[in-house]
Amino acid sequence: MITGRTRIAGVMGAPVIHSLSPLLMNSWIAAAGLDAAYLPFPAVNDFSVSGFRALGESGLAGLNITLPFKTLAAENADTRSSSVEATGAANLLIFSDGTIEARNTDIEGIHYALSESGQGFKGRSVLVLGAGGVARAACAAARQDNASELVVSNRTQANADRLARDFDARSVDWSERQIGAESADIIINATSLGMDGRSSPDIDFSRCKNEAVVFDTVYTPARRPFTDSARSAGLVVIDGLSMLIGQARPSFKALFGSNVPDSIDAETLLRKALGS
């Protein structure tokens, strides 16, 4: 039961109806026996910094931030973690005494997803598709783990060029992304393509390296052309559920002051919710 003492946090995005974060976080809250709740906060696309300020003054403990507000969240916080400074994006805001602290746990989520599959960036060539907040986290994670080469491609070339400059990477035109994929050891979809269950960056994985790893940061719906075609080509596939869990663990600790309880099998819980 929610009372006046209940610690409230949530996830904000546009859209946010697809998010599995409330299911995951509230399952952890119940298992940990906390007087807390985690709610979805749907926002309009022109949501502004004044909205963040108002939410911060409402008594909320904080918010996870998803598309398309990660850059806005980073730019307008009072303090920023080193990971936010590195990426220019924030997926976690902590509200305290009228101030906003920005953090980025997406980097941890990416490392977690790769390690859970026995993979890593070290010494490997990486292609990142996209140029938004998740793409920036992917580039930061690749640089942290000493990837041998980093290539980025985005539908808007100017954004790809900016991302490449920020992370000492090479940008390729969106029309040439297939060429980039064929030489990559790890291919990351950090775009929103696939969230509708139909769209895809359209990579022909049959022409990629046999040992290539395909990492889709999208996790819903359960079946998407990008991951389906990669599996059909026999490649190692990592989907966004592992990243969701990996970024949620430090978020839970920051928002509720408690470690994640070990009694919840997060992946099984979320895959059941997706019907997969």
CB 251 within 8 A of CB 226: no
Residue 247 main-chain phi, psi, to 5 deg:
-80, -25
- 122 noted as active-site residue: no
3 state SS of 163: helix
CA distance 212 to 207: 10
Residue 2 burial (CB < 10 Å; 0-12/13-18/19+)?
Answer: exposed
131: how many CB neighbours lie within 10 A of its CB?
Answer: 26
233: how many CB neighbours lie within 10 A of its CB?
Answer: 17
Angle at CA of residue 265, ends 94 and 211, nearest 5°: 95
User: Is the N-terminal amide bond of 221 cis, ω within 30° of 0?
Assistant: yes
* Gyration radius from the chain CA atoms: 18
Residue 176 DSSP code: G
Which of 85, 82, 89, 160 lies closest to 128 in space, CA to CA?
160
Residues known to be catalytic: 70
